[in-house]
């Protein structure tokens, strides 16, 4: 899901909406070349062309993903490292640190995937 932005022609404010389409062509085929949008600031209704829309990062989605990855890393660290100290095995602790890296690598993967989708949407104009 992408977060798309357009500028209101009446007041100049940026307005945002979400779309499941990941390219301008998909968006045009699903919703048409122009879409009727209402500005959240001045309530002006206008027809917005697909080429006037721009994909941007979602700060909320990024923050939620990062916090989830950090919490999972902390929980895994607590259970794996402290359990490894009780067991007393050095190998168990090394494996634990490797497992703790999984949530953060998942975050890095999701962030890179979002950046790639945004870059692709913004690069190709119809």
Q: Per-residue pLDDT for 87 more than 70?
A: no
Identify the pLDDT of residue 103. Answer: 85
Confidence at 85, pLDDT banded by 50, 70, 90: low
Single pTM value for the model:
0.71
Query: Cα–Cα distance between 11 and 112 in angstroms, integer?
Result: 34
Identify the pLDDT of residue 106. Answer: 85
Confidence at 126, pLDDT banded by 50, 70, 90: low
Identify the pLDDT of residue 5. Answer: 94
User: Alpha helices, DSSP H only, in the chain?
Assistant: 24-31, 59-87, 90-123
Identify the pLDDT of residue 56. Answer: 92
Identify the pLDDT of residue 71. Answer: 87
Question: What's the mean per-residue pLDDT of the chain?
Answer: 85
Mean pLDDT of the 14-33 span: 90
Please classify residue 67 by burial: count the beta carbons closer than 10 Å to its beta carbon, then call 0-12 exposed, 13-18 middle and 19+ buried.
exposed
The pairing of beta strand 2-7 with beta strand 34-38: unpaired
């Amino acid at each position: 899901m992408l977060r798309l932005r357009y500028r209101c022609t009446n007041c100049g404010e940026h307005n945002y909406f979400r779309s499941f389409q990941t390219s301008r062509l998909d968006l045009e085929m699903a919703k048409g070349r122009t879409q009727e949008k209402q500005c959240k600031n001045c309530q002006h209704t206008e027809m917005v062309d697909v080429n006037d829309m721009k994909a941007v990062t979602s700060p909320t989605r990024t923050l939620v993903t990062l916090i989830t990855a950090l919490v999972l890393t902390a929980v895994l660290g607590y259970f794996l490292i402290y359990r490894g100290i009780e067991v007393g095995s050095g190998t168990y602790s090394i494996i634990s640190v490797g497992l703790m890296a999984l949530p953060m690598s998942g975050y890095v993967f999701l962030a890179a995937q979002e950046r790639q989708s945004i870059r692709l949407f913004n690069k190709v104009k119809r």
